[in-house]
Chains A and B, each alone.
Chain A
Amino acid sequence: MSVVKTITSSQERKRGWSISLAPDLLPVEVPPPFDVPPLSVEVLQKMYHVMLLIRRVEEYLLDAASEGRIGGAMHTAIGMEANAVGAAFATRPDDYVTCTYRGHHHAIARGLDPGQVIAEVLGKASGCARGKGGSMHMVDPEHGLMGTNGVVAAQVPHAAGMALAARMRGEDRIALTFFGDGAIYQGVMHETFNIAAKWKLPVIFYMENNKYSEMTPIWRTSAIEDLYTFPKVYGIESIRINGNDVEIVHAAVSWAAERARSGEGPTFIEAITYRLAGHMAGDLETYRTPEEREHQRQADPLLVLRQKLLDRNVTEEALARIEEAVAQDLARAVEFAETSPWPDIAEAYTDVFHL
């Protein structure tokens, strides 16, 4: 019935993927408990600018990695940009965000200068972590980005703690934590769900479900594929959305943020999305077919948004202007990063303790 197949071994039962974004295999519809009011074309154009910038930055980074200029594991969010941008536009700069090693999109969406993102990934002194962290360790205190984290699920309880702190300090800030589908199996997730529900914490749990935990599809390791049902049993309001439609993401996070700020407690959002690039740079992607990936490209969040803008009478010329502006942003960022120096050795000893 579909071209969406997961590569299976000879010894394994054959089955396709049951959750998909592509039109012929839409996710099980969960009626959203919130409205999705159309955003103004001005806002949508700004979102398009940021999403495209993220895409271009990550394409540049993948090229740099294939040229051997980036070592280690670099994870891109190509195809997942709408999650970061919709959420960033729906929250305030003083809200707290924690997320995973797949975090370039969140860093840029929150407002971190793309030059600093690229510089960090290249290991330059002008990077957001002064080259100490690399791709997996974006940090931007000014925009509430507490850090992207290399250890799966480690960042999740911190969001609950910050949400508790904000409430105890009488602030109406909230905390938003991003994680992947694979993270749901870590014990700390479940411990945090319980605490957040019981204490009604102003926190949003945002799962970017891209259907693979590294190279392993969900169905191989989970009896439950409707992952948003897990937190329900802890008493958390849980929804599933299409994470490739920035307008839906924005509406969902706005709704969850409003709930959090008004004392109604945590929300869990399972956003169905898809990474169009490998798990990391250099991933041979032997665990999925090129057909599957190309099929999912139809739901590329950038195409979805571009079409939305055209449908709302934004002209091709206007879009071309945005695309040109993005190209200039990228050129500036690359120039900044590539001409920055390496960090001094002394940098290695800074921020070990406050001395």
Chain B
Amino acid sequence: MAVKTNLEAVRDTLAELMERDPSILIMGEDVGPRGGVFQATRGLFDRFGPDRVIDTPLAELSIIGVGIGLALHGFRPICEIQFADFIFPAFNQILNEAARYRYRSNGAWSVPMIIRAPYGGGVSGGLYHSQSVEAFFTHIPGLYVLAPSTPYDIVGLLRTAAQAPDPVLFFEHKRLYNLVKGEVPETYYEIPIGEADIKREGSDLTVISYGLTLHEAIKAADQLATEEGIQAEVIDLRTLKPLDMDTIFASVEKTGKVLIVHEDNLTGGWGAEIAARIAEQMFEWLDAPVMRLAGPDVPAVPYAPPLERWFMPLADKIKAKMRELAEY
């Protein structure tokens, strides 16, 4: 079994997919000889050539728009948006075009493309290099939204995404790129879209998360277990859309208490949808109100180190919230 970082998991899987499927292309800003600003495509240009690893102009709208055209005619583009913060020039193409082609053509057309976007804070990126933007996209029917957070899950989900018949938004937390290492089996495997994973078993309360806050939640849960004997179950959503409600509901049955944690803003964040579904369908099982811990509702992640620290829902805050929930 090989040990890889999240970044290596992305890079190696991209290479593997390109090797296997000649319809796969990579396009984006600086993805060619330079290998992307995060080095996620390093070496691919030399290996697969300029026709399959395409340095695009600095134009997100066209990266996605042209990608849609390629997808409509037999290719499967993997488009890189350099930072999720810069996806918005392409928003119209994603929302009104990629996600709706199938619906408006009676299934005659579909857009099998992957859009990769590094997101998230904790990197001193300030206003426009730290955003979590998933809630804008989980709102859109017709679009798969994935946010795997470990090397194992990245590999498995990227493989599946590369066979999905419809557009996939693949979010990668940039703080985790080199921070997280994990084992990736040599034998081939896939992870289905729409399957959450219990990353830590527990019976006292359930924490639902993804991304950097998932790892922080696991840290907090381990601390709480040793310090206070509270056993939290930590669910990694992995796929944000469609949600794996079965796994969530089963855990709620077990613990009766739920905390949802994400870095994206609280109001209208994806946690609100999850909380609403639990409230609607699991009301009798709940022993406490569903709680949320999320990025505060300020316009952006502020830059100054103390302000950024204040923004991020990291282990200490998660632990406090878990304790509050456990004591309820």
Q: What is the interface of chain A, defined by CB distance below 8 A to chain B?
A: 7-12, 70-73, 101, 123-125, 127, 129, 131-137, 149-152, 182-183, 185-188, 213-216, 220-222, 286-287, 342-343, 345, 347-349, 352
Contacts and interface: CB of A to CB of B under 8 A. Distances in A.
B29 A214 contact: yes
B49 interface: yes
B50 interface: yes
A101 B58 CA distance: 15
Contacts of B125: 71-73
A221 B57 contact: yes
A337 to B, nearest CB: 12
Interface of B: 29-30, 32-34, 37, 45-46, 49-50, 55-59, 61-62, 85-86, 89, 123-129, 296-299, 302-307, 310-311
A186 B59 contact: yes
Given A182-B58, A186-B58, A9 B303 contact: no
Contact of A12 (B33, B61, B303): B33
Given A186-B89, A221-B55, A342-B306, A133 B46 contact: no
Contacts of A222: 57
Contact of B89 (A101, A137, A188): A188
Contact of A136 (B34, B126, B298): B126
Per DSSP, chain B at the interface is loop
Contacts of A101: 128
A125 B305 CA distance: 11
A188 B303 CA distance: 27
B297 to A, nearest CB: 8
Contacts, number: 138
A137 B127 contact: yes
- Counting chain B CB atoms within 10 Å of each CB, the highest count among A149, A185, A287 belongs to A185
- Counting chain A CB atoms within 10 Å of each CB, the highest count among B33, B55, B61 belongs to B33
Contacts of A123: 303-305, 307
A11 B50 contact: yes
- Counting chain B CB atoms within 10 Å of each CB, the highest count among A10, A71, A286 belongs to A71
Nearest to B311: A348
Contacts of A349: 296, 298
Contacts of B124: 70-72, 134
B299 A131 contact: no
Contact of A347 (B58, B128, B307): B307
14 contacts: A10-B46, A71-B125, A132-B303, A134-B126, A134-B304, A135-B126, A149-B128, A150-B128, A185-B59, A186-B61, A342-B304, A343-B304, A343-B306, A348-B298
A72 B32 contact: no
